[in-house]
């Protein structure tokens, strides 16, 4: 049996003030699959993400990560396997140097010494930030902090990356660089975003949430062509943007050459 990287079934969750944020959500992500999670503000996207690594506990439903049920006993393993990159890098980077911050996760997993150093170096290398290892995070540009945030999670060697609005506040070049960094990774990705062209660039499949439910799911290209569904859920393509018809050569990931290995 091919185990899904993440399998959420019938998730419901209400915040203490009574707001029902999730109302029976099903979501499965295959190993190595890239899925965009789209939807208007307040749809429950981030709330769903916080269930995938057990920060929030559902009032109903279950989450399995690589076949492992998310419970108090499995939290450590679940948080190694599901890495969340939060929206604001200043929340994610809390140590005094980049190196210490990237080492935080693997050190919590019990790595020390050379193995820890190796993981830190590899993670920084994957995002092209090796040169900044000994700098304090607040001396980096916003785009650089974003990439280091990604490295802090990569250092834990996750199966699934959850990216919460990774392109917000990025300039176009930094946004393209981020897509290229993601191309080089061999992990499953759940991309939470309002940036529909970026979703198309990175993810083959998309899921639309609205009002705490999954309301649409399908190939990203087909979904973005479905004006009616987009409009119903307050999703809009940027002015003048028309997804190019799909041809075997139009996939930027095959052009930039996703490295096998």
Partner 1 sequence: MWAFGVYLALACVAAAAARLRPGAVLRRLAFELPFVVFALLLPLTGGGRETVAGLSVEGLWAGWNVLAKATLGALAVVVVSSTTPVAGVLRGLEALRMPRAFTSVAGFMARYAGVIGDEARRMRIAQQSRGYAPRWLWQARAAGSAAAALFVRSFERGERIYVAMLSRGYAGSLPAAALHRAGRADWVLALSLPLAAGAVAAASWT
Q: Report the interface residues with partner 1, using CB under 8 A.
A: 50, 53, 55, 76, 79-80, 83-84, 86, 88, 90-97, 100, 103-105, 107-109, 116-117, 134, 136-138, 152-153, 156
Tokens standing for 180?
A: 């290229």
CB neighbours of residue 225 within 10 Å: 14
Least distance to partner 1, CB of residue 26, Å: 23
Least separation in angstroms between residue 115's CB and partner 1 is 12
Nearer to partner 1, 84 or 223 (CB): 84
CA atoms of 168 and 165, how far apart (whole Å): 6
Could you please report the per-residue DSSP string of 126-170? Answer: HTT-GGGTTS-GGGS-HHHHHHHHHHHHHTT--SEEEEESTTTT-
CB of 83 to partner 1, least distance (A): 8
8: nearest Cα among 213, 163, 178? 213
Closest to partner 1 by CB, 157 or 204? 157
Q: How far is the CB of 56 from partner 1 (least distance, A)?
A: 9
Q: What is the distance between the alpha carbons of residues 151 and 145, in angstroms, rounded to a whole number?
A: 10
Smaller CB distance to partner 1: residue 54 or 216? Answer: 54
Q: Which is nearer to partner 1, 96 or 254 (CB)?
A: 96
Q: Shortest distance, CB of residue 243 to partner 1, whole angstroms?
A: 33
Question: Smaller CB distance to partner 1: residue 46 or 167?
Answer: 46
The answer to whether 71 and 41 are in contact (CB under 8 A) is no
Q: Please tell me the distance from the alpha carbon of residue 45 to that of residue 214, in angstroms, as a whole number.
A: 10
Cβ pair 26, 181 in contact under 8 A: no
């Amino acid at each position: 049996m091919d185990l899904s990287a993440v399998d959420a079934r019938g998730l419901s969750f209400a915040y203490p003030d009574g707001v029902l944020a999730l109302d029976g959500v099903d979501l499965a992500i295959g190993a190595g699959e890239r899925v965009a999670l789209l939807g208007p503000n307040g749809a429950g996207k981030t709330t769903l993400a916080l269930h995938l690594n057990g920060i929030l506990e559902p009032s109903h439903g279950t989450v399995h990560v690589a076949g492992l049920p998310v419970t108090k006993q499995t939290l450590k393993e679940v948080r190694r396997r599901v890495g969340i990159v939060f929206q604001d890098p200043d929340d994610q980077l809390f140590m005094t140097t980049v190196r210490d911050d990237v080492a935080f996760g693997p050190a919590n997993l019990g790595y020390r010494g050379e193995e820890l150093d190796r993981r830190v170096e590899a993670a920084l290398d994957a995002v092209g930030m090796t040169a900044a290892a000994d700098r304090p995070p607040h001396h980096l540009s916003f785009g650089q902090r974003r990439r280091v945030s990604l490295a802090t999670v990569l250092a834990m060697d996750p199966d699934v990356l959850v990216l919460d609005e990774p392109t917000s506040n990025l300039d176009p070049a930094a946004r393209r660089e981020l897509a290229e960094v993601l191309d080089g990774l061999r992990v499953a990705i759940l991309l939470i975003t309002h940036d529909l062209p970026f979703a198309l660039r990175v993810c083959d499949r998309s899921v639309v949430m609205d009002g705490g439910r999954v309301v649409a799911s399908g190939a990203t290209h087909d979904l973005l062509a479905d004006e009616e569904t987009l409009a119903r859920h307050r999703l809009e393509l940027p002015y003048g943007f028309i997804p190019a018809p799909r041809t075997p050569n139009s996939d930027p990931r095959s052009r930039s050459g996703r490295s096998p290995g």
